[in-house]
Amino acid sequence: MSMRVASLASGSSGNSYYLECSEGAIVVDAGLSGKSLLRHLELAGGDPAKVAGVIVTHDHADHASGAGILFRKFGWRLWMTKGTRDAAGSMGKVRVETIAPGSGLRAGGFAIDFIATPHDGAEPVIVAAERNGVRCGVFTDLGHPFGGLADHLARLDFAFLESNYDPGLLAANRRYPAGLKRRISGPAGHLSNIEAARLVAGVPGTRLRRVVLSHLSEENNRPELARNCFRKMVGERARELDMKIGVAERHCPMRLCPVR
């Protein structure tokens, strides 16, 4: 087995992703309760006994809230940047292993790289994991399409890629104050459907063949809007490369699937 992956939950109510190979597994983000994360992991077809640890990409609760209980209940190792650890609030009695943007580690059978993003967390990173030359990225909470991002995507076979909001729905949302709208659409916020689709359309090379649109806003996006945007902007390239594009569900895990 080279690598199998699944989204366990994706969105502002909680984010978590599971990556598995024959040697072990890692979890990226733990924005669910320990009980819910374990249930979703098992529904996806994963094995909690294989998990080496959890990488917390940044301090926001929808990515970090369940990390402490997973350490205490299962003994899973916790990796995060110093900024994330300092800003994450109380995780209870845990032992954090600090990583840095631009660094890497080996865990669960994977070689893992950490890439800094301009999102408005405290020292946030995104994650690229490699096994036997096969590479998957969890690329959410990106801030904006920053320099070098397309090149990072070009080195992946499979990407969980943020496609957070539809600009029209966000602009029309009367529940969101103007400041929050500016934060979401600003340079430290999230990628829109259009930005994500334009990014994929411009990825150099032919390696990236599977994209799962992730971290969709519940109020400011719809799966069909994200899909239609990608069909319009990436359709020809997707057909040429036989690229598959899916959408991660908010509350339901996807079944484990091979990266290639």
DSSP string, 84-127: HHHHS----S--EEEE-TT-EEEETTEEEEEEE--SSSSS-EEE
Q: Number of folded domains in the chain?
A: 1
Q: Which helix (H) or strand (E) holds 128?
A: strand 125-131
Q: Which two tokens stand for residue 171?
A: 């602009």
Whether 52 is covered by a domain: the verdict is yes
Flag whether 176 is in a domain: yes
Main-chain phi, psi angles of 125, to 5 degrees: -135, 160
Reduced DSSP (H G I as helix, E B as strand, rest coil) percent helix, strand, coil of the chain, to 5: 30, 30, 40
Looking at the domain assignment, is residue 150 inside a domain?
yes
Give the 3-state secondary structure of residue 179.
helix
CB burial of 94-120 (b: ≥16 within 10 Å; e: otherwise) equals: bebeebeeeeebebbbbebbbbbbbbb
CA pair distance 20, 253, nearest whole angstrom: 15
pLDDT in tens, 4-29: 999 999 998 999 999 999 999 999 99
Share of the chain above pLDDT 90, in %: 95
The mean pLDDT value for 86-102 works out to 91
Q: Is residue 259 part of a domain?
A: no
Give the model confidence (pLDDT) of 102-155 as tens digits: 999 999 999 999 999 999 999 999 999 999 999 999 999 999 999 999 999 999
pTM of the predicted structure, to 2 decimals: 0.96
Q: Please report the DSSP string for 38-91 in residue order.
A: HHHHHHHT--GGGEEEEE--SSSHHHHTTHHHHHHHH--EEEEEHHHHHHS---
Question: Quick check: is 155 in a domain?
Answer: yes
Q: 208 near 157, Cβ under 8 Å? A: yes
Q: Which domain holds residue 140?
A: 4-254
Q: Closest Cα to residue 112, out of 57, 48, 72, 149? A: 57
Say if 260 falls within a structural domain. Answer: no
pLDDT digits (tens, 9 = 90+) for 191-239: 999 999 999 999 999 999 999 999 999 999 999 999 999 999 999 899 9
- Asked if residue 47 belongs to a domain, the reply is yes
Instruction: CATH number of the domain at 232, please.
Output: 3.60.15.10
